[in-house]
């Protein structure tokens, strides 16, 4: 679903010393695409991403927290890998380098390229 372009600035008409005028183009926003709502499979994957991010809080517990965090993250990541298609998983891995898992999944599943 896309939204029409919005006119931000009406291009002015500039007179020239030779009796003519120059009309500058209007400034418009590019067409915006709205995010779509994820289906049940995608919601399940985003839920596992949230679980993977929340597992990092468990890692703050001294001594045992780090071990439990690694186990929880591995379990959630395995489920995410099972739920996504190969193309979605490849895109998710690119986003996962810079964003938390939940944000990377939302960008991958809700904001697909046209």
Query: What distance in Å separates the CA atoms of residue 26 and residue 29, rounded to the nearest whole number?
Result: 10
Q: Identify the residue with better confidence: 112 or 38.
A: 38
3-state secondary structure at position 30: coil
* Residue 51 predicted with pLDDT over 70: yes
- Which percentage of the chain shows pLDDT scores above 70? 90
* pLDDT at position 73: 95
If pLDDT is split at 50, 70 and 90, which confidence band does 114 have?
A: very low
For the whole model, what pTM was predicted? Answer: 0.68
Q: Identify the residue with better confidence: 50 or 10.
A: 50
Query: What distance in Å separates the CA atoms of residue 93 and residue 86, rounded to the nearest whole number?
Result: 11
* Residue 65 predicted with pLDDT over 80: yes
For the chain, the structural domain boundaries read: 2-33, 40-110
Helices marked H in 59-85: 64-83
Mean pLDDT, range 47-68, rounded to an integer: 93
| Neighbouring residues of 13: CB distance < 8 A, sequence distance ≥ 6 | 21, 22, 23, 24
Nearest to 66 by CA among 74, 76, 58: 58
Contact, 24 vs 48, CB < 8 A?
A: no
pLDDT in tens, 1-40: 455 677 778 888 999 888 889 988 888 877 767 777 889 9
* pLDDT at position 26: 83
104-113: long-range contacts, CB 8 A cutoff, minimum separation 24: 104/49, 105/42, 105/45, 105/46, 105/49, 105/80, 106/46, 108/84, 109/38, 109/42, 109/45, 109/46, 110/35, 110/36, 110/37, 110/38, 110/42, 111/33, 111/35, 112/36
């Amino acid at each position: 679903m896309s939204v029409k372009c919005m006119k931000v600035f009406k291009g002015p008409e500039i007179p020239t010393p030779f009796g003519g005028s120059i009309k500058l183009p209007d400034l418009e926003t590019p067409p915006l695409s709205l995010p779509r709502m994820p289906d049940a499979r995608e919601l399940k994957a985003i839920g596992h991403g949230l679980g993977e991010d929340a597992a990092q809080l468990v890692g703050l517990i001294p001594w045992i927290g780090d071990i439990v965090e690694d186990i929880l993250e591995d379990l959630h990541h395995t489920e995410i890998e099972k739920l996504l298609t190969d193309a979605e998983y490849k895109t998710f891995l690119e986003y996962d380098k810079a964003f938390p898992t939940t944000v990377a999944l939302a960008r991958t599943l809700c904001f697909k390229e046209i």
